[in-house]
A and B are shown apart, each in its own frame.
Chain A
């Protein structure tokens, strides 16, 4: 009911705006972003130049048609002229469009050349696309992590979840761990993929570039303002293509360096500075009983595994193996833990995404669901040992 009402109001407004003052509805997002890099601004200027040229051409062409339709109609008693050729006119409407095209090609070439200049970078980040998450590696900093759709969006986006996306902040455009970069530094992105082709797109950076398995693409950005910039995968990459967003946080140089130090410390095993997650970690480090493991395992499975292996574990062979009745799944627990932590083939490594209790739960779950009946449990400690 609420939705319909809101729709009705917005629809009337929308159609009105469409007819009258299109550009005024900026809050709806109708136009390309100016973005926050020098490249994105030149792309925006180029876009507006070509758009206006097209609008002018369109107006002239449609104006002529309208004039003709109004004035040159039989019902006005006109007799049809019988001219059917004019070399001069034909030459004119071949040459004039050529000149207009050249006028567009010159600035376009300039921007394209600038985009291809990936040299002299201050920071180099390798971006790897997975089904369905991104991995970021800071080449000179020895920092690496995965970034995937945040839990809240992920819960709401399940089929017929009954939850309202409008209640979620940045629905589908939020991640568990964003990419952090410094402002006013030339950042070089090296893009590749692990499984299928993805495409890295943050509109505010001014471009998208495909991430192709086995190949490395390059692109660059120099962000001018600190802020949070959101984007998503732009190349169809399978079932959850819509659910692998990108969040880039641009920080001042000091904040960026502090973040780098924090990441290093974390990697070296020093307790996390961010305290809010700590209690949760503590609570689950202890042994868990079968019911808890199964319950939590089902949640984790739904969020992380069901996309490929299906909710009922039948998978989608040959790419995504069947788990139900699989000898591997009910075989040695260490092997199963290993593949969950480190990945294999199309299976992404989840060690960076799931904590010990998550892994223990999900392994326990798949070994005791879909008709698999090992009856044994895997504890967080086992996972800890396997890491």
Chain B
């Protein structure tokens, strides 16, 4: 009898809603929570982007006060980075890492629960600052002093919220590292891990290394404001530029935190739909590691215009240009994987190919921005806005869509609606380019970023961009519908799901059992692992 109850306990999720979701320690449930939270925040941040694009639709101030506009740009960035993209990747890590390495769950399941449940509280505080006297943060997500010190009540609350987000990310990252290093199935050596696991391992180290730096920077802001220090005030012997150095020492690796797991996802999807092993597995791993290393020594390319000595600018220019090499290796490897494959183009593959092409556009504009003397012109213009949206929207976000379509059948046990998925892809890929491509021209022609109103010669491209923006925003509703439909039902998914898919996740049932691998799978010398022939 006891044995039976015990078995039952292991067989399925708890029946009570609170037990299942609030107190959960199950990696799949926590992964689901992260993903749903990220999707919600994607629409919250997206709504702010719609306000921005609506005000910029034509010159003149039609809709919002300039100060509220600044709140929109600031909060849009904070919500999208810390609320949508990062939690979405953590959600995928939770769902997929144990399954991909043959583990029953994450290594630290209770901490896992905590790192998720901090997020809704942190964002409740962050979003509540809109209702406080003076409104939400409006000095840009980079929070540069002295401007940052001109806020009212939002300032300490937002800093508290960011501290919470940092704690959540660090705990999530520790969990990922502990899981990957300790819980791999026997026989799965590091160099046999799927690339998604590899990229997350490296990302987790980046998070652990830089989130405390961000915490330090914003704590110094706090003490400058309330405890009489002058870290960043020239009047007290401090230096406002020092903040920028500290911030970007966090900020640049942060960019890679948002893109390395995307590399892992695309490296899983392209081989599946090309029916061909990933080209250059080990060079992919080394490329990710070199990008992560370089990300620590290029931070000042975000601040070429602050007036650094010549030697400093040259160093940061050369180091930044160097990043193009490992990034190029990755792109070439993906193309070589597609080359002479037998490709089919289901929605995950479409988003993955869209990623490779559009991320490359973002990478190329990145090379232009690395050229310091030219950056004196590009810096803080819409050219930069276009650049990082190509990297983050058509890069990170497209990879997230690719991942969702790729693994939804595994998660839910149902195939998603392929026709709707394709509609989602094609509408997204067209509108996102209408939205962001003209912004390159605006920036080059001289439109600064973070402005609510502009000179009339920028009107046309702004209108085009805004129309693209509204259409892109609406297109994302299709995704919500696809997900709801897929959870509710649909054609039954096989365990294998995709003909060319390889890896441990496809050996489990769809959906997988509540506790993933209760007995570790045996890893054959080359069974279903990246980089090795099938």
0 or 1 for each of A220-260: is its CB under 8 Å from B? (1 = yes) = 00000000000111111111111100000000000000000
Is B178 an interface residue, CB under 8 A from the partner?
A: no
Chain B 431-450 interface residues, beta-carbon cutoff 8 Å to A: 434, 437-438, 441, 444-446, 448, 450
0 or 1 for each of B462-493: is its CB under 8 Å from A? (1 = yes) = 01100100000000000000000000000000
Q: How far is the CB of B341 from chain A (nearest CB, A)?
A: 5
Is B429 an interface residue, CB under 8 A from the partner?
A: no
- Interchain CA distance A32-B357 in the complex, whole Å: 24
Residues on B with C-beta less than 8 A from A89 are: 336
Chain B residue nearest in CB terms to A116: B310
- Interchain CA distance A161-B62 in the complex, whole Å: 8
Chain B 40-76 interface residues, beta-carbon cutoff 8 Å to A: 58-62, 64-67, 70
Knowing A54-B365, A72-B274, A173-B455 are in contact, say whether A84-B533 is a contact too (CB < 8 A).
yes
Is B377 an interface residue, CB under 8 A from the partner?
A: yes
- Interchain CA distance A121-B329 in the complex, whole Å: 46
Is B144 an interface residue, CB under 8 A from the partner?
A: yes
Task: Point out the residue from A32, A94, A97, A116 that lies within 8 Å of B377, measured CB to CB.
Answer: A32
Asked if A50 and B336 make an inter-chain contact with CB atoms under 8 angstroms apart, the answer reads no
Chain B residue nearest in CB terms to A91: B283
Asked if B374 and A235 make an inter-chain contact with CB atoms under 8 angstroms apart, the answer reads no
Knowing A79-B342, A157-B453 are in contact, say whether A43-B374 is a contact too (CB < 8 A).
yes
- Interchain CA distance A147-B438 in the complex, whole Å: 32
Is B393 an interface residue, CB under 8 A from the partner?
A: no
Number of A residues, CB within 8 Å of B: 108
Asked if A197 and B147 make an inter-chain contact with CB atoms under 8 angstroms apart, the answer reads yes
Asked if B441 and A84 make an inter-chain contact with CB atoms under 8 angstroms apart, the answer reads no
Residues on A with C-beta less than 8 A from B336 are: 86, 89
Chain B residue nearest in CB terms to A77: B342
Asked if B324 and A101 make an inter-chain contact with CB atoms under 8 angstroms apart, the answer reads yes
Q: How far is the CB of A170 from chain B (nearest CB, A)?
A: 7
Chain A residue nearest in CB terms to B530: A84
Chain B 316-359 interface residues, beta-carbon cutoff 8 Å to A: 317-318, 321-322, 324-325, 328-329, 331-332, 335-345, 353, 356-357
- Interchain CA distance A320-B377 in the complex, whole Å: 33
Asked if B147 and A236 make an inter-chain contact with CB atoms under 8 angstroms apart, the answer reads yes
Asked if B364 and A241 make an inter-chain contact with CB atoms under 8 angstroms apart, the answer reads no
Is B216 an interface residue, CB under 8 A from the partner?
A: no
- Interchain CA distance A59-B456 in the complex, whole Å: 33
- Interchain CA distance A234-B303 in the complex, whole Å: 13
Q: How far is the CB of B235 from chain A (nearest CB, A)?
A: 6
Knowing A196-B146, A316-B134 are in contact, say whether A241-B445 is a contact too (CB < 8 A).
no
Is B509 an interface residue, CB under 8 A from the partner?
A: no
Is B268 an interface residue, CB under 8 A from the partner?
A: no
Task: Point out the residue from B65, B317, B345 that lies within 8 Å of A112, measured CB to CB.
Answer: B317
Q: How far is the CB of B141 from chain A (nearest CB, A)?
A: 10
Q: How far is the CB of B156 from chain A (nearest CB, A)?
A: 13
Residues on A with C-beta less than 8 A from B337 are: 84
Asked if A104 and B531 make an inter-chain contact with CB atoms under 8 angstroms apart, the answer reads no
Asked if A84 and B234 make an inter-chain contact with CB atoms under 8 angstroms apart, the answer reads no
Is A14 an interface residue, CB under 8 A from the partner?
A: yes
- Interchain CA distance A145-B514 in the complex, whole Å: 73
Asked if A234 and B240 make an inter-chain contact with CB atoms under 8 angstroms apart, the answer reads no
Which interface residue of B60, B274, B374, B500 has the most chain A CB atoms within 10 A? B374
Residues on A with C-beta less than 8 A from B140 are: 236
- Interchain CA distance A73-B306 in the complex, whole Å: 50
Asked if A208 and B344 make an inter-chain contact with CB atoms under 8 angstroms apart, the answer reads no
- Interchain CA distance A81-B441 in the complex, whole Å: 42
Asked if B325 and A62 make an inter-chain contact with CB atoms under 8 angstroms apart, the answer reads no
Residues on B with C-beta less than 8 A from A344 are: none
Task: Point out the residue from B150, B318, B446 that lies within 8 Å of A238, measured CB to CB.
Answer: B150
Is A57 an interface residue, CB under 8 A from the partner?
A: yes
Q: How far is the CB of B372 from chain A (nearest CB, A)?
A: 5
Task: Point out the residue from A32, A197, A217 that lies within 8 Å of B444, measured CB to CB.
Answer: A32
Is B113 an interface residue, CB under 8 A from the partner?
A: no
Is B261 an interface residue, CB under 8 A from the partner?
A: no
A175-183, A198-206, A266-274, A297-305 - interface stretch: A198-206
Asked if A111 and B373 make an inter-chain contact with CB atoms under 8 angstroms apart, the answer reads yes
Chain A residue nearest in CB terms to B142: A236
Chain A residue nearest in CB terms to B365: A54
Residues on A with C-beta less than 8 A from B532 are: 84
Is A61 an interface residue, CB under 8 A from the partner?
A: yes
Is B313 an interface residue, CB under 8 A from the partner?
A: yes
Q: How far is the CB of A31 from chain B (nearest CB, A)?
A: 5
Is B104 an interface residue, CB under 8 A from the partner?
A: no
Task: Point out the residue from A14, A65, A85 that lies within 8 Å of B280, measured CB to CB.
Answer: A85
Is B496 an interface residue, CB under 8 A from the partner?
A: no
Residues on B with C-beta less than 8 A from A158 are: 61
0 or 1 for each of A311-329: is its CB under 8 Å from B? (1 = yes) = 0000011111000000000
Residues on B with C-beta less than 8 A from A30 are: 441, 444-445
Chain A residue nearest in CB terms to B534: A82
0 or 1 for each of B137-173: is its CB under 8 Å from A? (1 = yes) = 0111000101101101000000000000000000000
5 A-B contact pairs sorted by A residue (CB < 8 Å): A81-B341, A101-B324, A172-B455, A201-B448, A242-B66
Inter-chain pairs besides A43-B376, A236-B140, A243-B453, 12 sampled, C-beta below 8 Å: A50-B368, A61-B335, A93-B329, A101-B367, A157-B453, A171-B456, A196-B150, A197-B144, A207-B376, A233-B448, A242-B452, A319-B150
